[in-house]
Amino acid sequence: MEKGKVISPHFAKSGKAQISFLCDVDQRRAATSVKNFPNAKFYKDYRELLDKEQKNIDAVSVSTPDHNHAIQAMAAMQLGKHVYVQKPLTHDIHEARMLTEAAKKYKVVTQMGNQGSSGDGVRQLQEWYNAGLIGDVHTVYCWTNRPIWPQGIPWPSQKAEVPKELDWDLWLGTAPYKDYVEKLVPFNWRGWWDYGTGALGDMACHIIEPPFKVLGLGYPEAVECSVGSVYVDEFKRGYFPESCPPSSHIIMTFPERQGKSKVKLHWMDGGIQPERLDELGPNEKWVTEPMGQPLLVPKEK
């Protein structure tokens, strides 16, 4: 089932899956998938699809906006269907825990789409760490150039006409009702808490995954956060709680594990970056990847 983007290629690329059904609330966004899979039956409402076709479905791919991930994945798992859910897995921590329990209860295979954990760089980093080349890591810096969509702004005051191809009520799903506004769909919803999870939810799944995997991190014992603010004018700061902040710096402290040091993991977005390394020349770029990257700092010997 798809909503808001071209169908996730993971099932199709395997060569072992038959794409039998498509689901999208926006016919404009569904056009390419409908063209690529002409034999797949098309639905607009995922509930109708699951109700009518549950006997004909083995697995479901969910690529909707963040706020509808959990309810759609849960509906599929309750029918005994395996699920592949794009990142971030859910809209909040409670939903993630509910899906974890549901996967065990209904005995289904589940996976979150996280390409950041599948690259050779992560495996190489693991080899370096296991071989002792990095040492005992105590600090990790992760950063991104996101958001590349508007954040830290007020909700638009002028409503717009809903495109005829879009079912706005179905798109809202679990979110509170609001009038449709321009440019929210298909991308800028990420900057609003009702629908998205900001730069952290968009990119941290990719960038924080390597240190979590390599260092064997679990739950943090402490978290602190500071965020950037915006100015309505040169004298007045704006406060727009409906929107994610324009930038943030989050520090998560993880306890010692199996003789390893505590780890402080820094997440930075919106242009915030770690201090430049002394080894870099004045003309050398500090950030080489547009999406950001993790930097592990070993403990001094």
Q: What is the pLDDT of residue 4?
A: 36
- Residue-wise pLDDT tens digits, 64-84: 999 999 999 999 999 999 999
Instruction: Report d(CA 8, CA 168) in Å as an integer.
Output: 22
Using 50 as the pLDDT threshold, list the residues of the chain that sit under it.
1-7, 290, 301
Q: What is the pLDDT of residue 259?
A: 86
Residues 107 and 144 in one domain: no
Instruction: Report d(CA 269, CA 248) in Å as an integer.
Output: 6
Residues 106 and 130 in one domain: no
Count of structural domains, the chain = 2
Residues 213 and 267 in one domain: yes
Residue 40 structural domain = 9-113
CB 272 within 8 A of CB 149: no
Residue 212 located in a structural domain: yes
**What interhelical angle do 93-106 and 69-78 show, nearest 10?**
10
Residues 146 and 267 in one domain: yes
Q: What is the pLDDT of residue 235?
A: 62
Picking from 61, 96, 113, the residue at the C-terminal end of a domain is 113
- Residue-wise pLDDT tens digits, 82-141: 999 999 999 999 999 999 999 999 999 999 988 777 778 889 999 999 999 989 999 999
Q: What is the pLDDT of residue 198?
A: 96
Residue 162 located in a structural domain: no
Residues 63 and 198 in one domain: no
Name the token pair of 139.
């600090």
Q: What is the pLDDT of residue 2?
A: 37
Residues 213 and 246 in one domain: yes
Name the token pair of 217.
């991190």
Residue 167 located in a structural domain: no
